[in-house]
Structure 1
Amino acid sequence: MITGSLVAIVTPMYGNGELDWESMHALVEHHIDQGTDGIVVVGTTGESATLTVQEHCEAIKRMVDQVNGRIPVIAGTGANSTAEAVHLTAEAKALGVDACLLVTPYYNKPTQEGLYLHFKTVADSVAIPQILYNVPGRTAVDLLPETIGRLSQLDNIVGIKEATGIVERGRQIRELCGEDFAIYSGDDATGMELMLQGANGVISVVNNVAPKLMHELCVAAIAGDRTTAEALNARIEALSTNLFLEANPIPVKWALKEMGMIKEGIRLPLTPLSECYHSDVRSALQKAGLV
């Protein structure tokens, strides 16, 4: 089981939207140096929705090659087309990732039975550990605990990134799926509490800018050390709010640019962070001691 602080890593770009592999390389080495426990590449934060399939696969290959087994690499391979999700998952397996992260199909709003059959088809088609991803605020569909429980019975569905922000969901999923099923928070604001209640880690946006703090927070929270976890969480609390003032990854890319780690590149239809939010994001970085 992969545990701890996993980063939902951004995909650095130049101002014209072309991918910036040099900055990606530097970011990965920074994360490994700062204690990040795993990297999720080409997820929502990685702007998977606007990458071509060729770019998607190239990003996975470059990540696997660079990390070279030092920490786990998880590839985002979800899609609202079941056939496309199968294809991307198979490609990621061939490229050598440790696991795949599959978001619920977005826009087409399937039933719970449709969700079950979608994920079961991918699991039956590609023999690689698969992590479900439930983020109804972006997909307009909610993968309910009972459906997660059914899916957890499939051998290669090993966990879930739960991003509803409802801590009680974690307890429900644990009761239905057992201790061997990994639960990761996908909501930075409630991640600490979910881990204190028994989750196995986070797949975090905030980790992009505060990897050392997030790693230490995860260690404390997973160990049940509430006092230490709350002290660390207080330092990143403003980031957990202000990095979502506009759609992710708009604020976190601006924050990384402000820290001198990437260039100001993002793809339409996303745009750079509105000027009215610059001071808020900068203030959160300062509170965390990052600038």
Structure 2
Amino acid sequence: MFSGSIPALVTPFRDGAFDESAFRRLVDWQIESGSKALVPCGTTGEASTLTNDEHHRVIQVCVEQAAGRVPVIAGCGSNDTKTALMHIEYSQKIGADAALVVAPYYNRPNQEGVIAHFSYLADNGGLPIVVYNVPGRTVTDIAPETVVELARRYPQKIVGIKDASGDLSRVTDHRMGISAQFCQLSGDDELSLPHSAAGGVGCISVSANVAPRLCADFQAAIASNDLALARELNDRLYPLHYAMFEDASPGPVKYALTRVHDWMTEEMRLPLTPCNAATRKAVDAALEHAGLV
């Protein structure tokens, strides 16, 4: 259903408000550069600091600007199941193609609770769901057997996973336990190459915000089995992948975007602040290494 380079889009702010103009330009640039789908209102999109109205507006603008050129996987996660359903229902109404739903954070449900959460959303929501596992942020891990159970129960609704667990063995666990149609996307840019070798089909990427053409070409090289080119492009991108997390995300990627576009700002919402001087130096070096500046 989804494959290739899929940016987890930043949410531009200007003077404290959602900068719709910059976001529309970002969407166009991503599509023109070869991105195969778009994810608004994920972690990189600072969804946790958006009001519900803002959250929905960002998704709506993304869908409007994409205009059917690529799928939109709307960030719909919450640690409250009913709130997640509200986001899914709104996203379906305005034309999103799928929902990205993170594991419930802070509450720390057990695996039975995780299954109940996603089952409720699959039973009551109308969009296909891409499960998002990022235990480093949520504390709650979605065990491979839980993913397999959900995909088997809801083959038409639980359609894929963004895996940011850092455990590459899970790609094989999922592949062997679920049908080939289940879509496995890396949630870690730096692991995308081995993730694909194990059975992944793409990456929901932070780096693609600032290097969409390189990331798209990298994923295309993997898809065409051109390992030599994939390695070459991966080497160009590798320092950038790590620089994006030298400081609290999305500070580094917002700074990087200001280096390549004058219509972007570094502005974030508290408790996040712009990245520090050491991170800027690392980002500058990575952008130069990749040939982006």
2:210 equivalent to 1:209: yes
In 2: Cα distance, 1:211 partner to 1:126 partner: 31
After TM superposition, the score normalised by the length of structure 1 is 0.98
Partner of residue 275, structure 2: 273
In 2: Cα distance, 1:203 partner to 1:218 partner: 11
Kept in 2: contact 1:196–1:226 (CA 8 A)? no
What is the one-letter code of the residue matched to 1:259?
V
- Measured on the aligned residues, the alpha-carbon RMSD in Å equals 1.0
Within 5 A, what are the aligned runs for 1:93-132? Answer: 93-132=92-131
Please state how far the C-alpha of 1:196 moved relative to its aligned partner: 2.1
Deviation readout 1:228-263 (Å, 9 max, x if unpaired)? 111110000001111101121111011111222411
In 2: Cα distance, 1:82 partner to 1:175 partner: 29
Kept in 1: contact 2:251–2:266 (CA 8 A)? no
Partner of residue 290, structure 1: 292
Partner of residue 157, structure 2: 156
2:2 equivalent to 1:13: no
Kept in 1: contact 2:88–2:126 (CA 8 A)? no
The secondary structure found in structure 2 opposite 1:262 is coil
In 1: Cα distance, 2:73 partner to 2:227 partner: 28
Please state how far the C-alpha of 1:104 moved relative to its aligned partner: 0.2
Q: How many residues align?
A: 290
In 1: Cα distance, 2:37 partner to 2:29 partner: 12
Report percent identity of matched pairs: 42
In 2: Cα distance, 1:224 partner to 1:114 partner: 40
Partner of residue 190, structure 1: 191
Deviation readout 1:86-110 (Å, 9 max, x if unpaired)? 1111111111101010000011111
Partner of residue 3, structure 2: 3
Partner of residue 227, structure 2: 226
Within 5 A, what are the aligned runs for 1:66-105? Answer: 66-105=65-104
- For structure 2, the residue ranges without an aligned partner over 5 or more in a row are none
Partner of residue 137, structure 2: 138
Please state how far the C-alpha of 1:3 moved relative to its aligned partner: 1.2
After TM superposition, the score normalised by the length of structure 2 is 0.97
In 1: Cα distance, 2:292 partner to 2:124 partner: 44
Partner of residue 245, structure 2: 244
| Range that drifts further, 259-268 or 110-119 | 259-268
Kept in 1: contact 2:7–2:205 (CA 8 A)? yes
Please state how far the C-alpha of 1:168 moved relative to its aligned partner: 1.2
The secondary structure found in structure 1 opposite 2:17 is coil
In 2: Cα distance, 1:282 partner to 1:142 partner: 34
